[in-house]
Amino acid sequence: QGFFSVRTPCPACQTRGEIIKDPCKKCSATGLMHKVDELEIEIPPGIEEGITLRLSGRGNEGPRGAAAGDLQVVIRYEPHTFFTRAEDDVRFELPIAYSQAVLGAEIEVPTLEGKAILTIPHGTQSGKVLRMKGMGFPSLHSRRRGDQLVKAIIEVPRKLGVREEELLLELAQIEEKAVGTRRRGFLDRLKEYLGRR
């Protein structure tokens, strides 16, 4: 009923105002092509996982000569064999022998910057966390460094030599004769509990 008009983009030039008679087969006359570049970027020491680094002008170019955008690089960690991170501290689990825990020892341990000597105090309990000052990650926000936190885990051997078994049996006999206060209290409570059943 009556006259009306519809405005649509020109299918030939797509509103560019010009028609390319012999368009480039690689870019289909868009002026843009897909290309993968390898860039070398500087990672600041102590950077945390999830932080985004922005590289200005290294993203995709816009159509019709528009300026290129930015490239955003999101930092992700590969899991390490020994170390885990807790803020600026680095955690590490160290298996030690029963004799080292009882008598104390000096043990060479790995750190982020190589090897270092860790002193195991005598009487160290399994699960005790020993702190190595300044051996962690450098902080992004200050000049300080985190610490390396070493969790001592006492390993119990599954197989013993003859001499080792003899010594441990002798130690067991000594411990039964000289029961400590804490152990004596536990044994008394255990006897009382079993007597009630």
Please list the residues that pair with 151 across neighbouring strands: 93, 129
Give the span between the Cα atoms of 111 and 132, in whole angstroms: 10
Residue with tokens 């005790």: 128
pLDDT of residue 64: 66
- Answer whether 60's CB lies under 8 Å from 72's CB: no
pLDDT of residue 78: 86
Give the span between the Cα atoms of 31 and 97, in whole angstroms: 69
pLDDT of residue 150: 93
pLDDT of residue 9: 78
The dihedral of CA 144, 111, 148, 82: what is its sign?
Answer: positive
The dihedral of CA 10, 16, 20, 26: what is its sign?
Answer: negative
Give the span between the Cα atoms of 106 and 47, in whole angstroms: 32
In Å, how far are 41, 63, 66, 68, 71 from 37, measured between CA atoms?
A: 12, 19, 19, 14, 11
Written as one string, the DSSP assignment of 83-108 is -EEETTEEEEEEEEEHHHHHH-EEEE
> 132 CB contacts (<8 Å, ≥6 apart)?
109, 111, 116, 118, 147, 148, 149, 150
190 φ, ψ to 5°? -65, -45
Per-residue pLDDT tens digits for 158-197: 887 888 777 777 777 776 665 556 666 666 777 776 666 5
H or E stretch at 119: strand 114-120
What is the band of 1 on the pLDDT scale with cuts at 50, 70, 90? low
Both tokens of 123, joined, read: 């009487």
What is the band of 77 on the pLDDT scale with cuts at 50, 70, 90? confident
What is the band of 151 on the pLDDT scale with cuts at 50, 70, 90? very high
The mean pLDDT value of the chain amounts to: 80
For the chain, what percent of residues have pLDDT higher than 90? Answer: 9
What's the rounded mean pLDDT across residues 77-101? 87
DSSP H stretches of helix in 71-180: 98-103, 162-177
H or E stretch at 55: strand 52-55
